[in-house]
Structure 1
Amino acid sequence: MEKVLTIAGSDCSGGAGIQADIKTITVHKLYAMSVITALTAQNTTGVYGVQDVTPDFVAQQLDCIFRDIKPNAIKIGMVSNPDIIAVISEKLQEYQGVNIVLDPVMVATSGGKLLKDHAVEVLAEKLIPLAEVITPNIPEAEALCGFQIDSLDDMRKAAEKLSSIAGKGILIKGGHLFSSADDLLLYESKEYWFREEKINNPNTHGTGCTLSSAIACNLAKGHSVPDSVLLAKKYITGALRDHFDVGKGRGPLNHCYAIR
């Protein structure tokens, strides 16, 4: 069985973060492992508190995993401060982590801020170059690129700028910009457009976490980057179409829709 490691924050309400990642990995029939970077007090209505794990303890978790069960793919989600980012970068290089998918989580679906401003530059410098794929949405891509994205051409320009930093796969998710759910993957200087109708479902809590985890799962199974994105898009589209409804705010999608 292939093993997938998620490095992310905990969502006590179960819809995003570590909890969403483990659900996603499990329904892909792979072995899930986790390194927790932060505890959050949140639910479908907002983020009410964030408590960072110490960088030393993040390092200790990574040591324990890599010295015993080496992952076939790694998903990185919420990394809220520069010191945690630095230690993750050091450990992934030390242990030669492969198939790294970076979801540059900055703001929760409910609007709560999850990444400190001064951490963005460190993220771009230390983690983006290690990733096989990064998966920013429009606001995250704007923060990383430094310019506003209002069109398909802007998405292309943003992907090209991020590619010059990372040199690998850049998946820009267009759901914040358009009435459709068209995403752009720039990989090895080639454009891949993944065009989907936008599903009329307000319950989208954790979709970014889930998509990046699904991409990591497919990379672990040996699929190419474009095929991994395609399969992950199909999975998340099905989970949204299930119209799961829990919570008083913007609820999570149904990670288990396919195995009921």
Structure 2
Amino acid sequence: MTKEETLFQRRLLDLANMADQRNIVLFSDFLSLNELNIYHSSKKELGFVTCRLFGGYEAAERQMIAFIPDALSYDIGTDPESLPYGWEYPFSCIRILPLHEKYADKLTHRDFLGAILHIGIERSKIGDILLTEDGTYVFCHNTMTELLCQELTHIKHTSVYAQCTGLKDFSWHPSYETIHGTVASLRLDSLLSLAFNSSRSSLTSLVENGSVYVNGRLTTSNGYKLKENDIISVRGYGKFKYCQTLSETRKGRLSVELQRYK
């Protein structure tokens, strides 16, 4: 690991120790895919507390860790967002809408993120940004919620307004394209080729260079065998889920179903 990654791992251990010693629930900031990978690699060292991951909705990419001491872990459920009674994740859901829909630009994820960072909010305080038909939703650390709602008034040439929406009222299901095809095996490189309609050879470097994550864990082996419901994220390409193997052809190839997120 790099020096920065080692410091991040130490930060996770410090949070876990403080939660255990003070008998309270503590939270990380929103973690990137690489930081989530470091967390997954540190589970043994963090085994003295219960950890929960949540980013506001199922399959969120950027998530917070809740560090729960043993004394408080007896009454938590099995759901990822389940916390001891009286505790909540310290982030809000912000809905962003154009002031005048008729004159609004067609804005991208990058446009929203750039505008949010421009008003002085650090990336670690922002979770996923979801562009939907009824507005754009941003998950934001509670310490930055008021600033975002007050200061985010323009994105490029579009006037916007932001308002807090309760997490319990938020419901969103990802939009995806279903892909069917045949592969020689369930190797990672084979399914990458099918998901992104590219040759295996053109995608192998993505795996070897550390651009591919399976369920938040960095995976650098093209021969890694995927399991049903694994979610694969690829920097610069997007993400998809390997749903199931449907059948086997006479030639021994596997007919599979994928869902590529839009």
TM-score, normalised with respect to structure 1: 0.28
**Which of the pair has the greater relative contact order for Cα pairs under 8 Å at 6+ separation?**
1
Higher helix share: 1
TM-score, normalised with respect to structure 2: 0.28
Larger Rg: 2
